[in-house]
Chains A and B, each alone.
Chain A
Amino acid sequence: DADVTQTPRNRITKTGKRIMLECSQTKGHDRMYWYRQDPGLGLQLIYYSFDVKDINKGEISDGYSVSRQAQAKFSLSLESAIPNQTALYFCATSDPGTSGSTDTQYFGPGTRLTVL
């Protein structure tokens, strides 16, 4: 079974709708992240969470919100979806380990979101 799962894998919605993307992990990591991927832009960080009580904005948080329901679950919401939020969304986890900045990220399979 996959360590990081995302639901749904594909979603088509209309402008103005509220939608939620869900992420679950079985790796036991405290740190979780939401990214969006757009062609030619690589990955951009939306939100990150160090633990259940610690949630932080990333580079492009406007129009998004998150909820960390448990160590294993981190959800991303689009309160009122717009077409330029059409993208591939990835959840990731990491474990800082015991030394420096060697924080390998473990990614889910992605959710392809289309906003019409």
Chain B
Amino acid sequence: GNSVTQMEGPVTLSEEAFLTINCTYTATGYPSLFWYVQYPGEGLQLLLKATKADDKGSNKGFEATYRKETTSFHLEKGSVQVSDSAVYFCALTTLRGGYQKVTFGIGTKLQVIP
């Protein structure tokens, strides 16, 4: 079956530090890959996505590149801010019997300190 692996954290960084959150996956077929972000007290919201190999998703200074050869979709940001403190979920979707099955990672908590 499909699976997504990411560290649970927490990851603690100082403001303006470089961020990498690793995400690797196993899937049948050709998945689409997503990063969702969950701010405290809120639901998940889409941060970025990539639908095919070598695509780069980007939003709000975050980037992730779909690497089929390493089955990875690592999230990066060059300079984090306190407002980036949240839980980040890597996810994938594949088509199965007409249903777009979604598989989430466990979520990585990011804490950015001033």
**Given known A40-B8, A107-B44, contact A100–B95 (CB-CB < 8 A):** yes
Q: Cα distance A100–B51 when bound, in Å?
A: 9
- Is residue B46 within 8 Å, beta carbon to beta carbon, of the partner chain? yes
**Complex interface: stretch among A12-20, A41-49, A75-83:** A41-49
B32 touches A42 (CB 8 A): no
B43 touches A103 (CB 8 A): no
A residues contacting the other copy or chain, number (CB 8 A): 26
A103 touches B102 (CB 8 A): yes
Contacting B43 at CB < 8 Å: which of A4, A42, A96, A101? A4
**Contact-size category for B:** 20 to 34
Contacting A103 at CB < 8 Å: which of B8, B89, B93, B106? B93
**Given known A101-B93, A103-B93, contact A42–B105 (CB-CB < 8 A):** yes
B53 to chain A, nearest CB (A): 13
Q: Which residues of A contact B (CB under 8 A)?
A: 4, 33, 40-43, 45, 48, 50, 56, 90, 92, 94, 96, 99-110
20 A–B pairs (Cβ distance < 8 Å), ordered by A: A4-B43, A42-B89, A42-B104, A42-B105, A43-B44, A43-B104, A48-B99, A94-B100, A101-B31, A101-B32, A101-B94, A101-B95, A101-B100, A102-B32, A102-B49, A103-B102, A105-B102, A106-B45, A106-B46, A110-B43
